Amino acid sequence: MSETTTATTATTATTTTASSIRNYIVYRTVASGAEGVGYVLNSILWDGTSTFNPGTGLALALDADGAYPIGSTYTAPTATTTTTAATTGSAT
């Protein structure tokens, strides 16, 4: 008679937040001296969830591929506005 034993190995997965940390740039939204609007002041690694305040006249933008080095100019996307027409009356 033969006996077969099966061993089960439990694997514990460790979740890391390193994959959620991404490259962002800090750029000017208001010109200051020789630095115009869009001027990239800094590049930071940020998780996107913790508090970060870039300061007055500055903003953050995701730069995952590192396309905007410090000193370059970033062009922010233009905001789009949607207008909805209100109608009154009744359909009969």
**Dihedral angle, C-alpha 71, 39, 56, 43, nearest 10 °:** -40
Rounded Cα distance between 65 and 25, Å, is: 11
Q: Which amino acid is at 8?
A: T
In a domain, 67, yes or no: no
Task: Name every residue whose Cβ is closer than 8 Å to that of residue 63 and which is 6 or more positions away in sequence.
Answer: 23, 24, 25, 43, 74
In a domain, 33, yes or no: yes
Give the total number of structural domains in the chain.
1
In a domain, 88, yes or no: no
Per-residue pLDDT tens for 4-44?
Answer: 444 433 433 434 455 689 999 999 999 999 999 999 999 99
In a domain, 44, yes or no: yes
Per-residue pLDDT tens for 39-78?
Answer: 999 999 999 888 989 999 999 999 999 999 999 999 998 8
Q: What range defines the domain where residue 37 resides?
A: 20-62
* pTM (2 d.p.): 0.64
In a domain, 48, yes or no: yes
Rounded Cα distance between 83 and 50, Å, is: 34
